[in-house]
């Protein structure tokens, strides 16, 4: 006996097996991200009033990424529709765009991540804070590129305070006080605490990296499957077109879910 309903729908449920399977799987995914969103809400509500950071992320990049994903959601449907209409070449084009969108998304995300990892906050022994992007770091000093106005942190005035005795030499050596940019070097012996804007920085960065990281893994997974079905897996179109179309539909459903999660993530992390 063979397993029934692998390609054709069962009458009373109106579904073929894989489609039901992906819906069930997505239900569990909803619970997974739901739990993380609840964690976000709880952490945010529980934070000391006024300490939840805003404006740390690059909204234009986030917007581009949102558009990229929405675009890919459209092409995924078009790809499936092309197969339904028996136009395999169009499928190749549309699905190619989907894969490309996924890549663009990941590249942009990588830049955003890198930006955070290079962004340092240095708290000095005298309590002043230097906040900026890493220029160079050595065993006994750290140089940050401090720029104004991008981060909306009220600590900015500290940065332009005269550098204290020990690192005066470095400070004068660095191309000092250009209008909006300057490099500040701090001796390690002056540093009370320092760290980048990685997940450890605060609970906001923690949930940001966890949510987007997990989402990123989903994007990678989805893109790999779609890419596989786009090139080597497409052989099946010749042997079993109906089943192949179903596979495209199922992978498309997953992709929609991944996009949908981002649609929630974007406002929650970037805008609110």
Partner 1 sequence: MQHSTTDTHHAGAHHDAHHHEELGFWRKYIFSTDHKVIGIQYALTSLVFLFIGFTLIALMRYQLAYPGQPIPIVGGLLDSLFKGMASGGVMSGDLYNAFGAMHGTIMVFLAIVPLAFAAFGNYVVPLQIGAPDMCFPRINMASYWVFFLGGVIMLVSFFIPGGPAQAGWTSYSPLAVIIPTDGQTYWLIGMVFLITSSLLGAVNFLATIIQLRAPGMTWMRLPFFVWAQFVTGFILLLAFPPLEAAGIMQLMDKVFGTSFFMPTGLMISGNPADISGGGSPLLWQHLFWFLGHPEVYVLILPAMGIVCEILCNNIRKPIWGYKSLVYSALAVGFISFIVWAHHMYLTGMGTAISTFFQTTTMIISIPSVIILTVFFISLWGGSMRFNTPMLFVLAFLPMFGIGGLTGLPLGFNFVDLHLHDTYYVIAHFHYVVAPGTIFALFGGIYYWYPKVTGRFMSESLGKIHFVTSFIFMNLIFQPMFAQGMAGMLRRMSDGGANYSVAQNPGVAGALSESVLYSNVLVSIAAWCLGLAQIPFIYNFLTSWKFGKKVTSDNPWQATTLEWQTPTPPPHGNFTTTPAVYRGPYEYSVPGAATDFSPQNEPLKTQKA
What residue ranges bind partner 1 (CB under 8 A)? 1-5, 10, 13, 15, 17-18, 20-21, 24-25, 27-29, 31-36, 39, 42-43, 46-48, 51, 198-203, 205-207, 209-210, 214
Closest approach of partner 1 to the CB of residue 248, in Å: 18
Span between the terminal Cα atoms of the chain, in Å: 56
Question: Which residue, among 97, 113, 34, has the nearest Cα to 226 in the 3D structure?
Answer: 97
For partner 1, the closer CB: 42 or 169: 42
For partner 1, the closer CB: 4 or 152: 4
Instruction: Please name the helix (run of DSSP H) or strand (run of DSSP E) that holds residue 168, with its range, or none.
Output: helix 168-173
Closest approach of partner 1 to the CB of residue 13, in Å: 6
Closest approach of partner 1 to the CB of residue 80, in Å: 21
Sheet holding 191-196, edge to edge: 181-187, 141-147, 129-137, 119-124, 191-196
Do 20 and 246 touch, CB atoms closer than 8 A? no
For partner 1, the closer CB: 53 or 96: 53
Closest approach of partner 1 to the CB of residue 121, in Å: 11
For partner 1, the closer CB: 198 or 241: 198
Cα–Cα dist 265/37, whole Å: 9
Closest approach of partner 1 to the CB of residue 193, in Å: 8
For partner 1, the closer CB: 172 or 213: 213
Question: Which residue, among 154, 146, 209, has the nearest Cα to 183 in the 3D structure?
Answer: 146
Question: Which residue, among 185, 186, 196, 124, has the nearest Cα to 155 in the 3D structure?
Answer: 124
């Amino acid at each position: 006996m063979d397993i029934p309903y692998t390609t054709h729908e069962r009458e009373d449920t109106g579904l073929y097996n894989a489609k039901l399977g992906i819906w069930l799987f997505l239900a569990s995914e909803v619970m997974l991200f739901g739990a993380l969103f609840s964690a976000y809400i709880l952490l945010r509500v529980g934070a000391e009033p006024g300490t939840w950071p805003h404006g740390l992320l690059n909204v234009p990049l986030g917007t581009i990424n949102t558009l990229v994903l929405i675009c890919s959601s459209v092409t995924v449907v078009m790809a499936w529709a092309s197969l339904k209409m028996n136009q395999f070449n169009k499928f190749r084009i549309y699905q190619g765009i989907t894969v490309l969108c996924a890549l663009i998304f990941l590249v942009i995300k990588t830049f955003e991540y890198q930006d955070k990892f290079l962004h340092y906050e240095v708290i000095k022994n005298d309590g002043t804070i230097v906040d900026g992007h890493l220029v160079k770091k050595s065993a006994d000093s750290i140089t940050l590129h401090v720029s104004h106005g991008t981060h909306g942190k009220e600590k900015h005035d500290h940065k332009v305070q005269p550098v204290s005795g020990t690192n005066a030499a470095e400070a004068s050596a660095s191309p000092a006080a250009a209008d909006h940019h300057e490099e500040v070097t701090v001796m390690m012996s002056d540093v009370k605490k320092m760290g980048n804007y990685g997940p450890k920085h605060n609970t906001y960065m923690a949930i940001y990296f966890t949510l987007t990281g997990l989402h990123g893994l989903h994007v990678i997974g989805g893109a790999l499957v779609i890419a596989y079905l786009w090139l080597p897996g497409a052989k099946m179109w010749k042997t079993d077109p109906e089943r192949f179309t179903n596979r495209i539909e199922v992978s498309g459903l997953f992709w929609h879910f991944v996009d949908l999660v981002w649609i929630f993530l974007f406002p929650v992390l970037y805008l609110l």
